[in-house]
């Protein structure tokens, strides 16, 4: 009997089915918990789902690569979903027509503040060079951030982790931080979350409303573009 279970497990552990199913299960459980507890930002569904999956993989001794073989089908949809952000953006067209010079100015200064302050803080606390370089592009969406890290000599997969942590800070604390800073304008709230915390901040902004979500989605692409141009320049200038 236990030999049967063992052989079933060996089959499942190497098939993409397990990674995919566990991702969907963990996500739905995390969403259920999030809704049940009154949508508290601290119970961020991504954070809770990731904690469950990491716990499960470690308990079963499964490697990340094996998990990703299945989960990549979900990961792939990040591309079309990014394209889809054009629709909420289009719904805000009239607002955008009035605001684009401001948006551009804010995105450019935000990209510099995000990259420079992260590197400066880590450097002042004795962070190693690989950490500094992996931190520099942390505010932009995963695919862009990993590309920048590779170009400036950081470690792309470590950058992916920094990007995620940054997203979590923005998604969990962003609402409170904006309240404390007395930022009430919905466009400003969304833009700030999108600039500082890319797609994960945008998930949070979409929960705040369509205006905030649209400006956050707009910020993902613009901040990615600005950072991809500015950060390599800043790094070569500091060196």
Partner 1 sequence: MLPSLTVLLLCQLAGEVVVRLLGLPLPGPVIGMVILFLGLVVRGRVPAGLDQAVKAILGNFALLFIPASVGVMVHLGAIWTEALPIAAAVLGSTILTIVATGRLMQALSKPPDNGTDKDRA
Instruction: Name residues contacting partner 1, limited to 141-160 (CB under 8 A).
Output: 141-144, 147-148, 151, 157-158, 160
Are 14 and 66 spatial neighbours (Cβ–Cβ below 8 Å)?
yes
Contacts of partner 1 in 173-202 (CB under 8 A): 173-174, 177-178, 181, 183-185, 187-189, 191-193, 195-197, 199-200, 202
Kindly calculate the radius of gyration of the chain based on its CA atoms and give it in whole angstroms. 19
Ramachandran sector of residue 44 (left: φ over 0; alpha: ψ -120 to 50; beta: rest): beta
In the complex, least distance from residue 3 CB atom to partner 1, rounded to whole angstroms? 29
> Which sign, positive or negative, has the C-alpha torsion 188, 194, 195, 196?
positive
> Closest by alpha carbon to 56, among 13, 4, 10?
13
- Does residue 106 belong to the site contacting partner 1 (CB under 8 A)? yes
In the complex, least distance from residue 125 CB atom to partner 1, rounded to whole angstroms? 4
Tokens of 147: 């590309």
- Does residue 162 belong to the site contacting partner 1 (CB under 8 A)? yes
In the complex, least distance from residue 105 CB atom to partner 1, rounded to whole angstroms? 7
In the complex, least distance from residue 154 CB atom to partner 1, rounded to whole angstroms? 12
Are 53 and 67 spatial neighbours (Cβ–Cβ below 8 Å)?
yes
Of 10 and 24, the one with the shorter C-beta distance to partner 1 is 24
Contacts of partner 1 in 43-72 (CB under 8 A): 45-46, 49-50, 53-54, 57-58, 64, 67-68, 71-72
**Is residue 30 exposed (0-12), middle (13-18) or buried (19+ Cβ within 10 Å)?**
buried
Of 2 and 199, the one with the shorter C-beta distance to partner 1 is 199
- Does residue 114 belong to the site contacting partner 1 (CB under 8 A)? yes
How far out from the chain centre does Cα 76 lie? 15
Q: Is 127 helix (H, G, I), strand (E, B) or coil?
A: coil
Q: Which of 8, 10, 37, 102 binds partner 1 (CB under 8 A)?
A: 102
In the complex, least distance from residue 2 CB atom to partner 1, rounded to whole angstroms? 28
40, 42, 48, 54: CA torsion to nearest 10 = 180
Q: Which of 35, 121, 209, 238 binds partner 1 (CB under 8 A)?
A: 121
Of 4 and 63, the one with the shorter C-beta distance to partner 1 is 63
């Amino acid at each position: 009997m236990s030999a049967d279970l063992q052989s079933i497990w060996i089959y499942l552990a190497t098939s993409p089915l397990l990674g995919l199913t566990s991702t969907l299960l963990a996500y739905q459980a995390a969403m259920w918990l999030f809704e049940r507890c009154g949508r508290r930002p601290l119970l961020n569904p991504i954070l809770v789902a990731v904690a469950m999956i990491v716990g499960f993989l470690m308990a079963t001794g499964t490697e990340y690569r094996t998990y990703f073989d299945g989960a990549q089908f979900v990961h792939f949809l990040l591309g079309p979903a990014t394209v889809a952000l054009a629709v909420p953006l289009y719904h805000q067209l009239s607002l955008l027509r009035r605001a684009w010079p401001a948006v551009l100015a804010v995105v450019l200064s935000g990209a510099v503040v995000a990259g420079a302050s992260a590197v400066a803080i880590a450097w002042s606390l004795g962070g190693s060079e690989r950490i500094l370089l992996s931190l520099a592009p942390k505010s932009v969406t995963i695919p862009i951030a990993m590309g920048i890290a590779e170009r400036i000599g950081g470690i792309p997969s470590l950058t992916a982790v920094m990007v995620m942590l940054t997203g979590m800070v923005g998604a969990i604390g962003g609402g409170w931080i904006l309240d404390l800073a007395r930022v009430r304008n919905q466009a400003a709230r969304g833009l700030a979350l999108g600039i500082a915390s890319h797609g994960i901040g945008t998930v949070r902004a979409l929960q705040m409303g369509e205006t905030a979500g649209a400006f956050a989605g707009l910020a993902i692409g613009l901040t990615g573009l600005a950072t991809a141009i500015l950060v390599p320049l800043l790094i070569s200038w500091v060196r």
